[in-house]
Chain A
């Protein structure tokens, strides 16, 4: 059972070591095999990875698309240790991501990393909004 991918005109995605760019019409592809596949909407560039959780997503993405995932483990652990020390409540997310990485389920790890980004956004929103609300109350 392969993976069905539907592409808009000009949409790109990563297939193994390559980037596939769609032509000027809609395309439906059926892909079978073991190569990593990542759709354009799931791809994060180095520039976009500008927060602790996004960096973790980015490094998991590097592992997923790399021929030698182990090379990125050290960076992953540095990032995850920094995050857990600053925000211990992220642990359940980190744990789920790590478990998927250990099981070699990199795509699932990426999905969990997306949840982590959402959780981080909540916290950051609260942190930046918090003081202003309090000022308004006094």
Chain B
């Protein structure tokens, strides 16, 4: 019969497991003899820390609400930009129709349609807000990202009116001359460019806030599980728990996944 050879890693794990079970036994003995301080009265620090955790969870929930409102506001503005972009594109097709004719009455009709599209753009940008914050009416939005308020995202709005950032003037001379038409055409092209830039800025802000929102949700979950356990804590017991966790993690897939994540990273060069 051959001997079983244990690698040094496994042996040290076994050793730790043995030590851990020793500690657990000693903790149990203390419990049985009733020497351990057990109630909230005996351990006020831990008791109040646990209460603090619950309060923290509430603070974070409030933060989460602000983030959700913020996300809705950004989305409303983004929808507004999409709709305005469509109106600008319709206006562009009016310009190209006007370019194809020399009939001044047709051109006048088209220019009237152009002016009514301009009015619609102004209405849309005025209606793109939520809770009194309209990013397209040059309002800015501040979203707090952590509990201390030391970190926040300020999203500056745009003045998306035809007289503002879009700089779309009303049609001149009812588009009688080609120069009048091309003036409108140039302005339309420029406003499309700025709309696209605004939309990009908004979606990058949106992504930032959404990541923070997910992070905060996960923190609240952890807080709630932490608060349940904290009243039971005692430094010996925690030490024992820590040793047990260390062993468990060594045998678990967490270590493996960490190593594989490190392989994708610049850290892999650092051996």
Contact = CB atoms under 8 A, between A and B. Distances in A.
Interface of A: 12, 14, 16-19, 43, 45-46, 49-52, 55, 58-59, 61-62, 65-66, 70-73, 75, 77-89, 91, 94-95, 98-99, 101-105, 120, 123-124, 126-128, 130-131, 134
Say what secondary structure dominates the interface of chain A. Answer: helix
B267 A127 contact: no
B168 to A, nearest CB: 37
Contacts of B232: 88
A77 B145 CA distance: 18
Closest A-B pairs by Cβ, 6 of them: A127-B239, A103-B151, A88-B230, A86-B241, A84-B226, A86-B245
B156 interface: no
Contact of B229 (A52, A88, A103): A88
B238 A102 contact: no
Contacts of A49: 258
Q: How large is the interface on B (under 10, 10 to 19, 20 to 34, 35 or more residues)?
A: 35 or more
A84 B267 CA distance: 27
A30 to B, nearest CB: 21
A75 B238 CA distance: 22
A69 to B, nearest CB: 9
B271 A45 contact: yes
B39 to A, nearest CB: 17
Nearest to A120: B242
Contacts of A85: 225-226, 229
Nearest to A88: B230
Interface in B126-173: 145-148, 150-151
A52 B236 contact: no
A73 B215 contact: yes
11 contacts: A19-B266, A45-B270, A62-B262, A78-B254, A84-B229, A87-B242, A88-B46, A99-B146, A99-B148, A123-B238, A126-B239
A129 B133 CA distance: 60
B240 A127 contact: yes
Contacts of A50: 246, 250
Contact of A82 (B211, B230, B249): B249
Given A55-B249, A75-B258, A18 B241 contact: no
Most chain B CB within a 10 A radius of its CB, from A49, A98, A128: A98
